[in-house]
Chains A and B, each alone.
Chain A
């Protein structure tokens, strides 16, 4: 865990200024000091630099050290919002009171976070990063997390009064609060089309279309519980949308993948046949690949499930097809309350080319949120509603027909009433006939 000696100690992540502008004396922080050691950039150096500037961070370090010593957290929530909004701020008040009933660390007794939506794809100019940092330095602790787990820029640590001032300032130059509480939350999309060859969708457009359509449901929390959209441009799902979002949009394609046989041969020549067989051909989950005797590749496209493995490995030789679109999965979430659920396929393929196509996606999201908001129990995520009422009732509620792509296998239990079988079979035939 050796730490290298910096060439220029004043331009280094370990720099802590000798000059102290904050007026409150530093607290003794032996445990946090331990985290200044080691090669990874330390948040403790960052906290100390801020504590040299302002008293709020002096006391914040005092409270954090106290947590390290006692192994307990000491923040409680409350109600803080900006004018016109009901959410987007995480209020924090200290619980550490001395025997006199006063806060032990009074300068950081109010330490609220503002959740702010980053630009789609998390792109910044250095000028904008500096501008955000300057605004926060003016009205808050100076500490910013890039980014929180839902995807917000988190401006950590300010007083109730300054939440409004800070918001007013950044809102003037184009930034808006994200979600907190039972509402539509801030979304995330991958780098996608901006810098990735696997992208099958316009992630930025989908991301902003969906989330900005529900901006009222984000700023005024009135839903049963949180609702998250996430957008990944391909089935590598870099945004972890299937596990972490209620409405997951994943780019895919439905024609044949593209194979550049010249590049396949070059890959085989470079890596060797054994590598290609062991690491590509035999790793295909549906045995859809075959290496030919002349070192070209055959692909059984009807059985390719778009898992991305061969495209990831033979990046230059293989690419997604031209008929691109998205798969939509609904109901992903983590443990609380019924246990983890993955998103499940609701729309196997939706073309997103024309404005009408995008309108269809928006309507789909509206139908899902309307039905869920109407029918969910309090504090019930969309995936839990589906679990409680069954997928078929959910599909009827949002007006989507059943599709065998929605299941791993048909039911195994015979305990089901099938007296309308003929009608249902007829519906299937009609849909097939309509194409």
Chain B
């Protein structure tokens, strides 16, 4: 090996690349000049600029995890039927723009022929935002790609049509850290048993004071177990959140039976009408049931069916529940209301009904 080759290469700390070098020329020309848009059909956005320019954008659902075959397949379509430019939405949909309306139909046809759905615009159920799960995460209670694939199969018609009162954002998360974020409907792992501790490994693997500090309810304390320094959990205090597991893998929180799935509704980040809201718990104890998680799909579809029937135009799930009230939500969805729905965390009193406002 030459001396030069042995010298490691110093990185160029270039940071976030400039998007303009990859941007559709019509986007560059009309940057900051757009006047309005409409949707000629589900999955297609039509933007008109103050300069008179127009672009049609086709939104394509993907499986998020892409390999060279599908990247080339999709790029071939974009090169042949569009202008060679593509962007991704926050929910892993591809957006392909053309400046000629006549190109839209053949472009859609080409994507559909290759098996990729067109949709996810306006008041549809768009692609589910998903995390890594068993494929790559070090602390997952479930898979992400499989849950999303199963649900998108079930909700396919809602992706390719715009039939909901307003847009529906669904998220998934494989642990309670909730990387998937807030959603109109969120499908998140919820552990139900305290961690199982491998005391032989704790002293070697874990920085014990950090683990003690990580617990939100101060349920972990240092202890000598079988003559070895370890940690113990006050199981009466433990809320089974799994926060100790990432800094201390010998505190195994995941369990094939007791790691369940919980479903939350009403999160939204838009400021339209109401202020942004966090999602709220509606169902827990749902089995983590690969490969298709049918129990999750059943509850999600039920909530969507009731929302579709009962909500007014433009109401997001959270807006709708605020209008009809939680008792009606549980009545309409036929989900059981339990003591677990009543919050007891810091600030919980703000979530109680401090009024005689009751719907009969």
* Chain A positions near chain B (C-beta within 8 angstroms): 1, 4, 6-8, 11-15, 31-32, 34-35, 37-44, 46-47, 49-50, 60, 64, 67-68, 70-77, 82-85, 90, 92, 111, 113, 117-130, 133-134, 136-137, 142-149, 151, 154, 156-157, 164, 167-168, 171-172, 174-177, 186-188, 190-191, 193-197, 199, 202, 204, 207-208, 211-212, 215-216, 218-219, 235-244, 275, 278-279, 283-285, 305-309, 312-313, 315-316, 319, 334-340, 342, 377-379
Report yes or no: B16 in contact with A197, Cβ–Cβ below 8 A.
no
Chain A residue nearest in CB terms to B215 = A337
In chain B, what residue has the closest Cβ to A310? Answer: B272
B9 at the binding interface (Cβ < 8 Å): yes
User: Is the Cβ of B143 less than 8 Å from the Cβ of A68?
Assistant: yes
> A35 to chain B: which residues have CB within 8 Å?
146, 149-150, 291-292
Distance in Å: Cβ of B177 to nearest Cβ of chain A? 6
Of all chain B residues, the one with the shortest Cβ separation from A314 is: B36
Q: Are B23 and A194 in contact (CB under 8 A)?
A: yes
Does A40 contact B47, Cβ atoms closer than 8 Å?
no
Query: Could you say which residues of chain A place their CB within 8 Å of the CB of B259?
Result: 71
Least CB separation from A232: chain B residue: B269
Can you name the residue of chain B whose Cβ is closest to the Cβ of A4?
B115
Q: Which residues of B are found within 8 Å of A339, using beta-carbon distances? A: 216, 345-347
Q: CB distance B84 to A41 under 8 Å? A: no
Contacts of B118 in A (CB 8 A): none
Which 9 residue pairs spanning A and B have beta carbons closest together? A38-B153, A71-B256, A13-B115, A67-B134, A212-B15, A40-B152, A126-B75, A83-B8, A235-B271
Determine if A211 and B87 form an interchain contact, defined as CB atoms under 8 angstroms apart: no
Report which residue of A49, A136, A197 has the largest number of chain B beta carbons within 10 angstroms of its beta carbon: A197
Alpha-carbon gap, A204 to B16, bound state (A): 10
- Least Cβ distance of A389 to chain B in Å? 16
Interface set of B (CB-CB < 8 Å, partner A) = 8-24, 27-28, 30-32, 34-38, 47, 55, 57, 61-73, 75, 78-79, 84-90, 92, 95, 97, 113-117, 129, 131-143, 145-146, 149-150, 152-154, 156, 176-182, 210, 213-214, 216, 241, 243, 249, 254, 256-257, 259, 267, 269-274, 276, 278, 288, 290-292, 312-314, 345-347
Q: Are A195 and B92 in contact (CB under 8 A)?
A: no
- Whether A124 touches B22, Cβ cut-off 8 Å, given contacts A13-B73, A46-B66, A143-B65, is yes
Q: For the complex, what is the distance from the CA of A373 to the CA of B132, rounded to whole Å?
A: 29
Determine which residue in A235, A244, A283, A308 has the highest number of CB atoms from chain B within 10 A of its CB, and name it.
Answer: A283
Contact of A308 among B182, B257, B270, B313 (CB under 8 A): B270
Which residues of chain A come closer than 8 Å to B78, judged between CB atoms? Answer: 126
Interface contact A208-B256, CB-CB below 8 Å: no
Once the chains bind, are B271 and A75 in contact (CB under 8 Å)?
A: no
Give A126 to B85 CA distance when docked, in angstroms: 6
> Given the interface contacts A149-B129, A193-B32, A197-B37, does A130 sit within 8 Å of B87 by beta carbon?
no
16 pairs, CB–CB < 8 Å, chain A vs chain B = A1-B154, A41-B117, A60-B135, A64-B134, A76-B138, A83-B8, A142-B67, A147-B88, A186-B16, A194-B31, A197-B47, A199-B34, A204-B18, A235-B272, A319-B36, A336-B216
Give the chain B neighbours of A186 by CB distance below 8 A: 16
Contact B35 A197 (CB under 8 A): yes
A148 to B79, CA, bound (A): 25
Query: What CA separation (Å) do A120 and B64 show in the bound complex?
Result: 18
Determine the residue in chain A with the shortest Cβ distance to B66: A144
Of chain A, the residue at the smallest CB distance from B12 is A171
Are B145's CB and A43's CB within 8 A? yes
Whether A126 touches B31, Cβ cut-off 8 Å, given contacts A13-B116, A41-B62, A191-B87, is no
Residues of A within 8 A of B55 (CB): 195
